[in-house]
Amino acid sequence: MTSIKKLKEVFETDFFSQTLFTQYILKSMIKNKAGSILYISSSSALDGNEGRSAYSSAKAAIIAQAKVLSREVGIYNIRVNTIAPGLTDTDMMKKNTPKELVDEVISRISLKRIAYPEEIAKVASFIVFGPIKLYYRSGYKSGWRNVMAISKLEQIKNIKNFALQVRKNILEMAVSAGIDGVHFGGALSITEIVSTLFAYQMKIDKKNPNWEERDRFILSKGHACLAYYAALCEVGYISREELKTFEKNDTNLLGHPVINRNLGIDFSNGSLGMGFHLE
């Protein structure tokens, strides 16, 4: 049987640490009358695996605490939940779990594999943030993305990468059209603004260009359309091949944008400031 010393050691790590952190953040949540607490337990708490008395008990204590706490703080609009993942493909698991045990566990799983960390993270994100609408960023190499569930640093990194590609697209279009015949500087001057909107802020769906709930982009200075087209390429409305047709014969990409919702262009633009009267 597991020694008291070992039990205390495991409980310090797997139970008391989470309890102390909960006590630390709970005061602020109660004050703001809002919050979401998610504990990570384990299937061991439910299955009672042999040889894991300390770990299973600590994780079971987490589940019990979450049930009690949910009843205590629900009146403050604070949600408390627990997820209990099974064996998960992590470096720690590989280091500490014999292959024979992993194989034995897999034999009892209908999928015939263990869980991936990404799967656990997605469940956790859904529980904490709720059913937030996911917006499509097809050209941004991210598919459907929950823009509220990523850190500020990741958001900034994504926008910077997006802006870099927008600049490359602007240069390529300008060279293709003849750099003396395009408003090159005007496009570069709005790159950061356009990138922030299309890479992070705007609600758009390339598969449904007439979606009523979409955000509309109005480019008041239409001559800076190189940046507009470059961003539309990155979110999947315009192909890279079509970018090369900028200001060519029979092109959809003219020197000032012309409404074409299939390309993500909701308004025709020309004169400076004309967007002010549009709603």
SS3 content of the chain, % helix, strand, coil (to 5): 55, 10, 35
Distance CA 158, CA 164 (A): 10
Contact assessment for residue 111 and residue 104, using Cβ atoms and an 8 Å cutoff: no
Q: What is the DSSP letter of 278?
A: -
Based on the number of CB atoms within 10 Å of its own CB, is 217 exposed (0-12), middle (13-18) or buried (19 or more)?
A: buried
Produce one character per residue of 55-83: b if its CB has 16 or more CB atoms within 10 Å, e if not: bbbbbbbbbebbeebeeebeeeebbbebb
Q: What are phi and psi of 82, to 5 degrees?
A: -140, 140
C-alpha atoms less than 13 angstroms from C-alpha of 18 in its C-beta half-sphere: 22
Whether 55 is a known active-site residue: answer: yes
Q: Which residues are catalytic?
A: 55
